């Protein structure tokens, strides 16, 4: 099997790297806070820079928060590009600008390497379970080479189109996720304010046409008040910024996306940028002067 590298071992990256190693992949890794003992004890080679990872791997995975972070990892001091050579493949798993993605891919190709953008969906739960949805942009031949490794991290793996198409697909995903979180929050808040058990409502709705993964997982977070991050609000804000900027460049109106972003902004204003994105419901609760689960005020 080809040697792989992994850069970025945060909430999502670490379990993805763990799954690669569990499946026998020879892995080198770098993260700014230091490669966790859990990985080094499992045989992962800890590197001191992205460039060092590039010197040890055929396929390099990048999983960092935002567009500037990817640019720094690839082209900054001691970045991947310093050691990149013909035949290698860079796979960006991050969720970043589709336009910047195409620029990064062009620079990587100048080195004779190939590039895939492959943002993921499924949160920390999916990363740990190896059940992520992976949306890929790039050439078919390059996708085919990396697919066996994708299958160690995800279940629903799709080649969407050329480079950048994966990022566009992820932006669309985040629009739907945000709008659905907002709808679930409104529904459960309404039930609770009416004096009805919101958890029983959620359970009942899971058997009907309103059923969704977000109602199942994030609806339960709302009723149980468990907002430790699987996916932080500040990251979803970043993704919606990408959606709104892309829409503006295309002359497309996304009114509900804009509303969801404002609700996230309200959460951030109340100290919630690191809350799980299901905590969007807290902004709705503030406006309603009611928290899901509390008894309605007379």
Q: What is the set of active-site residues?
A: 170
Query: d(Cα 57, Cα 61) in Å, to the nearest integer?
Result: 10
Asked if 225 and 264 count as a contact pair (C-beta separation under 8 A), the reply is: no
Query: d(Cα 154, Cα 120) in Å, to the nearest integer?
Result: 9
Query: d(Cα 29, Cα 240) in Å, to the nearest integer?
Result: 29
Structure token pair of residue 147: 């697919």
């Amino acid at each position: 099997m080809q040697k792989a590298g992994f850069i970025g071992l945060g909430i999502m990256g670490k379990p993805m790297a763990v799954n690669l190693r569990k499946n026998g992949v020879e892995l080198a890794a770098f993260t700014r806070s230091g490669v966790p003992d859990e990985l080094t004890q499992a045989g992962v080679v800890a590197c001191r820079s992205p460039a060092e990872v590039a010197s040890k791997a055929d396929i390099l995975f990048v999983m960092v928060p935002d567009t500037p972070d990817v640019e720094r990892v690839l082209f900054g001091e001691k970045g991947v590009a310093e050691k990149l050579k013909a035949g290698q493949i860079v796979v960006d798993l991050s969720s970043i600008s589709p336009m910047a993605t195409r620029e990064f891919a062009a620079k990587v190709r100048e080195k004779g390497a190939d590039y895939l953008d492959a943002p993921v969906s499924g949160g920390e739960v999916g990363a740990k379970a190896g059940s992520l949805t992976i949306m890929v942009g790039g050439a078919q031949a390059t996708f085919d080479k990396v697919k066996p490794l994708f299958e160690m991290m995800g279940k629903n793996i799709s080649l969407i189109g050329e480079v950048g198409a994966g990022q566009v697909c992820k932006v669309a995903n985040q629009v739907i996720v945000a709008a659905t979180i907002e709808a679930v929050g409104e529904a459960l808040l309404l039930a609770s304010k009416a004096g009805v058990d919101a958890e029983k409502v959620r359970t009942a709705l899971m058997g009907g046409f309103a059923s969704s993964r977000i109602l199942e997982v994030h609806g339960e977070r709302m009723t149980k008040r468990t907002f430790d991050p699987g996916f932080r609000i500040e990251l979803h804000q970043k993704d919606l910024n990408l959606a709104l900027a892309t829409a503006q460049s295309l002359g497309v109106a996304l009114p509900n996306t804009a509303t969801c972003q404002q609700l996230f902004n309200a959460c951030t204003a109340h100290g919630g940028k690191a809350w799980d994105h299901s905590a969007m419901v807290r902004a709705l609760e503030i406006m309603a002067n009611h928290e899901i689960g509390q008894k309605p005020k007379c």
